[in-house]
Amino acid sequence: MPDRSFLNWPFFEDRHREHAARLDEWCAANLPVDHSDVDAACKSLVARLGDAGFLKATAIDPDDPQPLDVRTLCITRETLARHDGLADFAFAMQGLGTGAISLFGSDEQKEWLKKTRAGKALSAFALSEPRSGSDVANMEMTAARDGDHFVLNGEKTWISNGGIADLYCVFARTGEAPGAKGISAFLVPADAPGLSVAERLEVIAPHPLARLFFDGVRIPASALIGKAGDGFKIAMSVLDVFRSTVGAAALGFARRALDETTARAGSRQLFGAPLFDLQMVQGHIADMALGVDASSLLVYRAAWTKDSGAPRVTREAAMAKLHATDTAQEIVDQAVQIHGGDGVKKGHIVESLYREIRALRIYEGASDVQKIVIARQTMGA
Residues that are catalytic = 364
CB atoms within 10 A of CB 137: 14
Residue 13 makes CB contacts below 8 A (sequence gap 6+) with: none
DSSP reduced 3-state for 362: coil
Q: Kindly tell me which of 128 and 334 has the beta carbon lying closer to ligand COS.
A: 128
Q: Does the footprint of ligand COS cover residue 240 (CB under 6 A)?
A: yes
Distance of alpha carbon 33 from the chain centroid: 19
Stretch near ligand COS under the rule CB under 6 A, chosen from 81-89, 221-229, 232-240, 283-291: 232-240
Q: Kindly tell me which of 125 and 276 has the beta carbon lying closer to ligand COS.
A: 125
- Are the C-beta atoms of residues 208 and 42 closer than 8 Å to each other? yes
| DSSP secondary structure, 203-248, as one string | -SS---EEEEEEEEEEEEGGGEESSTTBHHHHHHHHHHHHHHHHHH
Q: Kindly tell me which of 89 and 125 has the beta carbon lying closer to ligand COS.
A: 125
Total chain residues near ligand COS (CB under 6 A): 23
275 to 314: interface string for ligand COS, x by CB under 6 A: -------------------------------------x-x
Site for ligand COS in 164-183 (CB under 6 A): 180
Q: Kindly tell me which of 60 and 136 has the beta carbon lying closer to ligand COS.
A: 136
Q: Kindly tell me which of 15 and 312 has the beta carbon lying closer to ligand COS.
A: 312
- Are the C-beta atoms of residues 295 and 324 closer than 8 Å to each other? yes
**How does DSSP classify residue 310?**
-
Residue 25 makes CB contacts below 8 A (sequence gap 6+) with: none
In sequence order, the β-bridge partners of residue 123 are: 167
Q: Does the footprint of ligand COS cover residue 369 (CB under 6 A)?
A: yes
Q: Does the footprint of ligand COS cover residue 239 (CB under 6 A)?
A: yes
Q: What are phi and psi of 333, to 5 degrees?
A: -65, -40
Taking CB under 6 A as the criterion, the residue among 59, 136, 190, 303 binding ligand COS is 136
Site for ligand COS in 105-134 (CB under 6 A): 125, 127-128, 133-134
Positions that interact with ligand COS (CB under 6 A): 125, 127-128, 133-137, 180, 232-233, 236-237, 239-240, 312, 314, 363-365, 369, 372-373
